[in-house]
A and B are shown apart, each in its own frame.
Chain A
């Protein structure tokens, strides 16, 4: 054993991310997070990684309140500004690439190379969505040629507070792939991190907190999905829910609860093999949490019909 090996490393206490702050669960509960069974190397399999906070229903409620508070400012920011903020996230993630590579390797049991590829793809996904913020309205909106003297414009708007049940397998790339499109368009998100792989999500919060993403725009909860997600699905001040990380039975239960205030629901992929997060993301996730507002206004004429000027 060398001199260096003798040093005991400093461990990180993982916390929730709510309203731009890093609280512990109000319940005081934590749960043990271990390395993926397939995690290789000397690190060992099933090794203890951390005690993650086990968020309660009240933590979920606080997260929704924080998200709601953030909606006005974030959706009211210019699309250009949101794009810059999202790009800043990519920059910060790039700077901490090594850290995430290690965390993803532990979480998903990937080799270092494969894990690095996941991190790179996640960074690139932020860049992809950073570029979309000021284009989605042009793609999803429309000037409508109505049969009358009216100006008529349809424009997309964020739906508000979106609960995101993050993918259970892909702890970083999957998470970024579902989170970035939600906030790119101006929504605020409450994320239920992958139950057994929450650490990359909790660490991502640190990047978000230092990337000019306003507090409350993204809130990250770790814990038991089946405990947290129903609270969010039933919450009357949540506008939409992304069920990607829910299994079929939970997804159905959540969709039923979501009907109480007619949340917009994005169902998990029908494909039992899950979603291929390396594929072209398209615009489906961007537009899933948009409302279309159509505004009419008379155009009229410059003067009374037929007048000289």
Chain B
């Protein structure tokens, strides 16, 4: 049925961003080829168009970058905090100035909707640098000793789901505390980190303080294992996180890990239903569900399950999937064919295991990597779709009868990153929040982020916190 009010295409202009045909590694303030000359292509997931060819870092490049960071560490850490802070303030301002360009770039390279890069990613990136800029000369007041010291060289490996935001979460606190960094962006989304290198140039940041090594897992492993790295920070899968934890065992390297999740979004029968539905939708379909803290398990009280599900399906029918650059797009492309294959495989497992699959009515584009918003009902704790992180727009719906059962089910996972609770009863919010084993609990809201708010997991979702005063601890001794 055609809609009466069809929104005409409203594409954001691509012309605000100028992507070069090739990019190098950023080491010691210079763009340089990889030692072995290898390159890889970065592809737009929505169209499969090759955006650029990027140098691929190897072990020799990791050596070079760590050496550059080591050389830069002395002078950088010796700078008065106020001066370091001013560099970060400059970076924050330049990000704000170039935010539309960066938003479009991120949308192209990642596949996420421009609405999200414009309204969420980029404002949060700039805010993160602003926040930590202000800490640089106040570290003695942060509660980690009167005269805390930086650790040295930080090796940082980030994922593809929020490329520039994860960069900000890693680099801003590291630099504020006086460390230097070698950062490896994900192989499917290297471009915004390379644009960030250009921002460092514009800000006049001393050479070697920030080094960017686009590359694959081998480069990440080499960085983590490098003997002259003092600190490892990783955001990504739990499996890789465990490998890293083993790799740094027995060393003096400090480690923080921000890993997977299987967040429960608990909806009680006295919830503000319309807002809860929005929270459920935002919780699992934000960024195509490729969010470690996604509310991928909906736990709804049995007495309102039908009503909530009906509202949810109706609401999912209004989601607009398609061109990520269209300002009205709610659901963009999945980041890579590998990710799409994983989502597809798990969704098929859900069906095979007997859960009932429902897919939002929407047409998928013919090129690019797409997955329609999907929910599974009749799911139990034993289903794979209830246990494994899908990292895609797939919601598993379970029911519960009592608050205690809700909490038990919510906690029944090796993960512990996020959870949501929806009820108008204040004491229940506090009681449930208290018992949830999760690093972030959103009550009557979901997927809210702020540079002042610590973020990180319990259990196999990792350790350490990013954001807020707590986020400094990982970069100080």
Contact = CB atoms under 8 A, between A and B. Distances in A.
A297 B427 CA distance: 13
B454 A154 contact: yes
A292 B456 contact: yes
Contacts of A256: 246, 249-250
Interface stretch (A7-15, A170-178, A260-268): A260-268
Interface in B393-452: 414, 429, 433, 436, 438-445, 448, 450, 452
A291 B458 contact: yes
Contacts of B462: 262
Q: Most B CB atoms within 10 A — which of A139, A255, A258?
A: A255
Given A146-B453, A293-B438, A139 B470 contact: no
A270 interface: yes
A262 B249 contact: no
Contacts of A296: 440-443, 445, 448, 453
A150 B448 contact: yes
Contacts of A259: 242-243, 245-246, 249
A305 to B, nearest CB: 17
B250 A251 contact: yes
Contacts of A154: 453-454, 468, 470
A234 interface: no
A258 to B, nearest CB: 7
Contact of A144 (B450, B456, B459): B450
A229 B371 CA distance: 46
Contacts of B459: 239, 261-262
Interface in A232-269: 239, 248, 251-252, 255-256, 258-262, 264-265, 267
A294 B439 contact: yes
B450 A146 contact: yes
A interface: dominant SS: mixed
A294 B249 contact: no
Contact of A255 (B250, B439, B450): B250
Contacts of A146: 448, 450, 452-453
Contacts of A298: 444-445
B257 A262 contact: yes
B454 A144 contact: yes
Nearest to A291: B458
A117 interface: no
B452 A144 contact: yes
Contacts of A294: 439-441, 453-455, 468
Contacts of A258: 245, 249
A295 to B, nearest CB: 5
A80 to B, nearest CB: 17
Given A252-B249, A270-B252, A295-B441, A144 B453 contact: yes
A148 B452 contact: no
A259 B470 CA distance: 23
A239 B257 CA distance: 15
Q: Most B CB atoms within 10 A — which of A139, A142, A252, A264?
A: A142
Given A142-B468, A292-B456, A294-B439, A262 B242 contact: yes
A232 to B, nearest CB: 15
B465 interface: yes
Contacts of A144: 450, 452-454, 468
B326 interface: no
B238 A252 contact: no
Contacts of B259: 262
B468 A262 contact: no
Q: Most B CB atoms within 10 A — which of A145, A260, A291?
A: A291
Contacts of B238: 262
A291 B439 contact: yes
Given A262-B460, A292-B456, A148 B450 contact: yes
Contacts of A159: 458
Contacts of A42: none
Given A142-B469, A150-B448, A239-B459, A293 B246 contact: no
A293 B445 CA distance: 16
Given A150-B448, A259-B245, A262-B238, A292 B438 contact: no
A265 B245 CA distance: 10
B454 A292 contact: yes
B127 interface: yes
Nearest to B441: A295
A261 B460 contact: yes
A292 B429 CA distance: 18
Given A146-B448, A146-B452, 11 more contacts: A144-B454, A147-B450, A152-B453, A154-B468, A255-B245, A255-B249, A262-B245, A262-B463, A264-B463, A270-B252, A294-B439
14 contacts: A139-B143, A144-B454, A144-B468, A147-B452, A148-B448, A152-B450, A259-B249, A261-B414, A264-B463, A293-B441, A294-B439, A294-B441, A295-B440, A298-B445
Interface of A: 139-140, 142, 144-148, 150, 152, 154, 159, 239, 248, 251-252, 255-256, 258-262, 264-265, 267, 270, 291-298
Interface of B: 127, 143, 238, 241-243, 245-246, 249-250, 252, 257, 259, 414, 429, 433, 436, 438-445, 448, 450, 452-456, 458-460, 462-463, 465, 468-470
